[in-house]
């Protein structure tokens, strides 16, 4: 692997930063305001979706 390919592989892009910031922001508010039920439900639903999508991807490629 050349030096330029290695730098391209390590480059942080804007979507990566936005995703990290959004996750940190939501997690910060979830920890600081545990009584907000809608935030807890949102995090649970997002967690289930994150687990379900790879499983569905595996099931569809085997058919």
d(CA 22, CA 28): 10
Distance CA 13, CA 18 (A): 9
pLDDT of residue 3: 60
User: Which H or E run contains 40?
Assistant: helix 37-62
Task: Indicate the domain borders of the chain.
Answer: 3-62
Q: Is the pLDDT of residue 2 over 70?
A: no
d(CA 47, CA 17): 20
Angle of CA points 18, 21, 25, to nearest 5°: 135
Question: How far is residue 12's CA from residue 33's CA, in Å, rounded to a whole number?
Answer: 31
User: pLDDT tens digit string along 12-58?
Assistant: 778 888 888 988 998 888 888 878 888 888 888 988 999 999 999 98
- The predicted model scores a pTM of 0.54
């Amino acid at each position: 692997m050349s030096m330029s390919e290695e730098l391209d592989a390590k480059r942080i892009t804007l979507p990566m930063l936005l995703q990290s910031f959004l996750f940190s922001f939501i997690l910060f508010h979830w920890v600081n305001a545990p009584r907000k039920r809608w935030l807890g439900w949102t995090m649970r639903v997002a967690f289930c979706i994150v687990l379900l999508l790879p499983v569905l991807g595996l099931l569809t490629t085997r058919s």
